[in-house]
Homo-oligomer: A and B are copies of this chain.
Amino acid sequence: MTNIDSLPFSARGNALIGQEMFKVLDNAKKLELDGKKVFHLELGSPRMPPPEEIFQETIKALENKLTGYTSSSGLLELREEIGRQYSLNQKKIISSEEVVISPANLLVSQFMDLVCDKGDRIVLFSPFFPTYLAASSYIGLDVQDIPLSVKDGFDLSIEAVDKSLATHPRAIIVNSANNPTGRVYSQNVLEYLAKKCNELGIWLLSDETYASIAFGRPFFSLAGLDYPQLVVISSFSKIFSIPGFRTGYAIANKKVAEKLSLSNSTLFSCAPAFTQLGCLAGLMQLQEYGDKLKLHYQKTSKEIAKIIRRSSVLEIIEPDSAFYLFVDISQTCLKDTEFCELLLSEKHTATTPGSSFGKQFDNFVRIAICGNIEDVQEGVNRFMAFVEEYTAKNT
């Protein structure tokens, strides 16, 4: 008979770590259940009102009882529109057969499982989005962490790319605009990375989830490159402020897109029709809504950065893109997890420890500035008050 404390899980089962932000969220929710008001700066959960058209179309589809299965690749009309919009901005035509609908977070695991076997090496440039590490750990990949330099503002350099290639990886993940640093990488370096991967037969995942809310350095998408081992992923979560829709997409050559579609069919059959139709309606508003978002986030991140800079204790680098500020807390002499725990318990303000984005960043904390603006401001004020009180007490 089985001992409940030593259940025989698989290697994958034992390697599960999940996402730190969701653990912070669960702790924050416990405080809320006790009747406390919590200021959420932990999750990249945008609170800007989404385009009304998304709700109208989703509700219309529900009223029309579109509750059946759909194609495993995603609705043809949505894939066509994504292809059409990308084709406008790229040097090549992207057809519906090169687009697959799936939650962007899931696409990270789907990509890794399609191209990597257990023990294969994958490069992550750190700081990185925690799902990359969680999925790599779960799948049993050999993660090669290439840290970007804080002195360069966490920009991706030719040197960092060369260093990553020298490890002879099976796959590389690149994330511009970056979560958590907000850095947008230069066209020059991204093209160099893709060209080298092409020459060396290395799989490349370009996560462009935050692309259309980049307001600093001009964003460059890899989707226009003709490279068979390149997969570009993005999400409607951030660009339309609808993370709860769980809808994203991949752009890849037909052979890879077919595999991703089979992966969808095997794992979850298909995506709901009504959320996909909602996202399609959103795409018609992308330009206008995106411009509004950019202005809003640029203004907010400038304001918040200014407040943080008032403290002589904290350091930040101004981002090119929403939703985050990656704050150096070294001078508080607190490690990130203790900092976040104290901040939550004393000031009811939730943030994400820097080490979630690469273990060497335990002197950083990530602040998400995409929530309700009054809550973000009050949360940041509490964050600052905590830092000031703590450092006054301990110096």
The answer to whether B198 touches A138 (Cβ under 8 A) is no
The answer to whether A113 touches B262 (Cβ under 8 A) is no
**Stretch from A91-99, A176-184, A270-278, A382-390 contacting the other chain:** A270-278
Is there a chain B Cβ closer than 8 Å to A267's Cβ?
yes
Task: Considering the complex, give the chain B residue whose CB is closest to the CB of A273.
Answer: B244
Task: Considering the complex, give the chain B residue whose CB is closest to the CB of A275.
Answer: B272
Bits for A303-345, please: 1 = Cβ < 8 Å to B, else 0. 0000000000000000000000000000000000000000000
The answer to whether B201 touches A113 (Cβ under 8 A) is no
Is there a chain B Cβ closer than 8 Å to A166's Cβ?
no
The answer to whether A266 touches B228 (Cβ under 8 A) is no
* Chain B residues whose CB sits within 8 angstroms of the CB of A50 once the complex forms: 65, 67
The answer to whether A1 touches B199 (Cβ under 8 A) is yes
The answer to whether B13 touches A113 (Cβ under 8 A) is yes
Which residues from 184 to 226 on chain A have a C-beta closer than 8 Å to any C-beta of chain B? 198-199, 201, 203
The answer to whether B113 touches A244 (Cβ under 8 A) is no
B-contacting residues of A (Cβ < 8 Å)? Answer: 1-2, 4-5, 7-13, 16-19, 22, 25-26, 29, 43, 45, 47, 49-50, 55, 58-59, 62-63, 65-72, 103, 105-106, 109, 113-118, 120, 131, 134-135, 138, 198-199, 201, 203, 228-229, 241-246, 253, 255-256, 259, 261-263, 265-275
Given pairs A2-B228, A7-B255, A131-B266, 9 additional interface contacts (CB within 8 A): A1-B201, A2-B229, A8-B229, A13-B115, A16-B266, A18-B72, A22-B72, A29-B71, A103-B268
